[in-house]
Copies of this chain bind each other. A is one copy, B any other.
Amino acid sequence: MSLPHPTADQISLPMVLAVLGDPTRLSIVRYLARKEGVPMNCSKFLDLASKTNLSYHLAKLREAGVTRSEAVGTSRLITLRRDDLDKRFPGLLDSVIAAADGDKDLPAVGVSEVEVSA
């Protein structure tokens, strides 16, 4: 960890909802959920917005307590704070992600991706 994150009990419901109420950020969260366990770096999301703008949105997600950003070399490894969110707001993240998965209007991440199948 490196950048400022709220502790689990500092995470505020209205903040989380407001932060998720943006299509770009909701897409990021959906993608993180889909690839859970695999930490992402910012460049994964360059289809969604410019580098600068991504930095802004990822900071919002981090400051709201939705994601964790760890500095590793020159990269940031971004993960969902599922543990803390589930503890604070049981069921919320799951229902948001399920709903986001069924949302055709959300911008997609990594559409031109090479899928490495087993």
Binding site for B on A (CB under 8 A): 12-23, 26, 88-92, 94-96, 98-100, 103, 105-106
Using Cβ atoms and an 8 Å threshold, which residues of chain B touch A13? Answer: 26, 96, 99-100, 103, 106
Q: Assuming A18-B18, A19-B21, what are 16 further A-B pairs, CB within 8 angstroms?
A: A12-B103, A13-B26, A13-B99, A13-B100, A13-B103, A13-B106, A14-B21, A14-B23, A14-B26, A17-B18, A89-B95, A90-B95, A90-B98, A90-B99, A91-B91, A92-B92
7 contacts between A and B (CB under 8 A): A12-B103, A13-B103, A14-B23, A14-B26, A17-B20, A17-B26, A18-B18
Sort A-B residue pairs by CB-CB distance and give the 6 closest, nearest first: A18-B21, A17-B21, A91-B95, A89-B99, A92-B95, A17-B20
